[in-house]
Structure 1
Amino acid sequence: MPRRSAKPRLSPASPCPCGLTASYAACCGRLHQGQATAATAEQLMRSRYSAFAARDEAYLLRSWHPDTRPSQLDFDPGLAWVRLEILAATDGGPFHTEGTVTFRAHYADGGRAGAMEEQSRFVRHEGAWVYRDALTVS
């Protein structure tokens, strides 16, 4: 049986998990609630990181390309995402059809700190940026 856990509490005034200076409501929360769409691949990447931090399965699945989207996600209840670093971005702007974002995501797992690096590939699907797939860097 998949491990499920309660969503972390994020109030509209909480700092956005993606690391930008705006509140959650003014930043990634707008995308999660469907009030806005990502203008760039990096903005989508940041919003997906925030969705992992908030355990927002519905947004993650909506923003995943249908060719690579899983049927559901399994969140580890002992894992907390704590900080995001964008290391590089290629293309992925308002006039591109694809782009990549390389990032380092810091986490705490059972009280132990860790980090993972990934280069995510994003494409436009039906006019919107979606996550396609990734290459784990370390």
Structure 2
Amino acid sequence: MSRRTTEPTSPCPCGLPATYAQCCGRLHSGQAAAATPEGLMRSRYAAFAVEDEAYLLRTWHPRTRPPGIGFDGGMRWTGLEILGTGEGSAFHRTGTVTFRARYTEGGRPGSLHEHSRFERVDGAWVYVDGDIGE
């Protein structure tokens, strides 16, 4: 398991105005759980940024979970923009998040646009799958 060093006092990679320890770090360590699909999406983005494979696998739906995460050592995640959400309240069993994630790879900028689906499993939000867009 490879992991990038992230200081607890560093800004959280998810883009919210909090430190990593106050924000997604609490979810990654298991001290808290995401209350909404957007919260889970943000924490999963941050987990990709810090290369936390255990968290990503733990928050992936069992029926779609891959055996492992293949992190690209030359890729750096540089920003997350939430474009929209659907359902995902305390009264829903499913939810969606549309986002754009920015990265650099080999010094060249790029972005990933995805419409992601989430479900509750044993009361916890998990990532199911997503449609990659332009």
Deviations 1:55-108 (A, max 9, x none): 000000000000000011100000000000000000112221100000000000
Aligned equivalent of 1:93: 89
Aligned equivalent of 1:39: 35
Aligned equivalent of 2:121: 125
| Displacement after TM superposition at 1:46 (Å) | 0.2
d(CA) in 2 for partners of 1:107, 1:69 = 23
Residue correspondences, number: 134
User: What stretches of structure 1 of length at least 5 have no aligned partner?
Assistant: none
**What is the TM-score normalised by the length of structure 2?**
0.97
SS in 2 for 1:81: strand
The one-letter code matched in structure 1 to 2:120 is: R
Aligned equivalent of 1:7: 3
- Over the matched positions of the two proteins, sequence identity in percent amounts to 60
SS in 1 for 2:6: coil
Measured on the aligned residues, the alpha-carbon RMSD in Å equals 1.0
Please list, as runs of the form range in 1=range in 2, the aligned pairs for 1:46-85 lying within 5 A after superposition: 46-85=42-81
The list of structure 1 runs, each at least 4 consecutive aligned residues, that deviate by more than 3 angstroms after superposition, is none
User: What stretches of structure 2 of length at least 5 have no aligned partner?
Assistant: none
d(CA) in 2 for partners of 1:93, 1:80 = 31
